[in-house]
A and B are shown apart, each in its own frame.
Chain A
């Protein structure tokens, strides 16, 4: 009866549009963040992280109305990030409907922000985010400015510093894995997760259900953040969770549909069902649950 591992939807917004990010370099438009949030929430995702990836660079805060629109449809915890640089910004985000805030760029200039924000809002409300790149020689370092500037910092050491300063969770984003659909950098995740007592959310690289299983089996990450792969098929979260549960992972299911009788293909889509099965179910009506 332990705490369930979480499937977190990462919604990246750039210039007001929900995007798919590839290696912090290329961006493909997806649509409106609040529409994606509404569907992902309805499909049983465990948490939503909404990040404005253009905010810090443009020296502004993630738009308040965007946070409000997403918060309104979000029945799960909402973490918000993008240009948050002061205790006042944290308060603004919470008032707009965020449950937690994710702070990244501001921490390089003002490391005390974690402590001051945590003393007012509690550590459980503060997420410290970092972008990490694995270089060709295999070493990993923390990068600033959307992956443009090498800070030379060691990710595990920095995560420990953040956690001791007041971060309740660490959001670890692997730049080299971002959008590659080749799996998480599990070695990096485990190195950072084992250095801290706080929970870790891993982001970057999920392309198939298998990648999440691998992450949870080989690291102590508390949560798998998934960006791109949830946007492209109907009921994606429920299908993903059901296929992982079949492999023995202990996840929370919130949907009445468990896809028990269906085959999930390795890429995470449901297999096509034979005509005679569909024919037999033509009159089966499953009403929406009234709460």
Chain B
């Protein structure tokens, strides 16, 4: 059975590109801000492009913080966060002021320090060093590149980090904690490697449904 993935529509970023990537994989998605639709989906995807404070404020205005937290923490619903959607699950961020996050995972969002040869924002295709045991990276080549576009990065306990990218320093690229998985890069914009990763996410939900 094919899982249905709900893409959280909270006024931040390019939801269509995520939906169109899943459409290319023939995986049904629904773009919604409706609490019942979110609760009824087999997996939740939180995309996001933009500023952290604005994003949290939008989630609060839509009254989604409580319901999403319940789905994640109490009902262990599979979750994929992308880019800002990864940063939002942290405790807090210092992007343009101090902001509280969703606090689903320990850690804070900090600015990437600029250094010679490493301009900020970090824009472009980087290889990531990933944990080959993570099912999210099944069938993905060691030297695969993913598309990053960010000025801030999540710093969290190393036990949560399942992939990182080198950019003068090590940047958290993927975090995993129980049912939560999140990528700093944009799989929906990373061509074949990205599609494989999204396929792996959808397969993991299907496996869970059957199991």
Contacts and interface: CB of A to CB of B under 8 A. Distances in A.
A and B: partners?
Answer: yes
Interface of A: 1-6, 41, 44, 46, 68, 71-72, 74-78, 94-100, 118-125, 168-169, 196-199, 220, 222-223, 252, 254, 289, 291
Contacts, number: 133
B84 A97 contact: no
A251 to B, nearest CB: 9
B150 interface: yes
Contact of A289 (B122, B189, B192): B192
Interface in B79-134: 84, 96, 114, 117-127, 129
A74 B191 CA distance: 9
Interface in B1-27: 13-14, 16-17, 20-21, 24-25
B125 A3 contact: yes
Interface stretch (B36-44, B62-70, B174-182, B193-201): B193-201
A268 B189 CA distance: 27
B49 A94 contact: yes
Contacts of B13: 94, 121
Nearest to B196: A291
A98 B14 contact: yes
A291 B199 contact: yes
Given A76-B147, A168-B121, A222-B119, A44 B51 contact: no
Contacts of B194: 75
Contacts of B54: 119-120
Contact of B120 (A76, A95, A119, A198): A198
Contacts of B193: 254
A223 B123 CA distance: 10
Contacts of B14: 71, 94-95, 97-99
A77 B189 contact: yes
5 contacts: A74-B17, A76-B147, A77-B186, A94-B49, A96-B16
Given A1-B127, A75-B24, A97-B16, 7 more contacts: A1-B129, A4-B124, A76-B189, A119-B51, A169-B121, A196-B119, A291-B25
The DSSP consensus for interface residues of chain B is mixed
Interface residues of B, number: 47
Nearest to A96: B16
The DSSP consensus for interface residues of chain A is loop
Contacts of A122: 49-51, 84, 151
Contact of B49 (A1, A3, A124, A199): A124
B120 A120 contact: no
Contacts of A196: 119
A41 B192 CA distance: 10
Contact of B119 (A5, A118, A197): A197
A99 B51 CA distance: 14
Interface string B156-198: 0000000001110000000000000000001011111111100
Given A1-B126, A4-B125, A75-B21, A121 B191 contact: no
Contacts of B148: 3
A198 B25 CA distance: 35
A122 B87 CA distance: 13
B53 to A, nearest CB: 9
Nearest to A73: B20
Nearest to A6: B124
Given A3-B125, A3-B167, A125 B192 contact: no
B2 to A, nearest CB: 15
Contacts of A5: 124
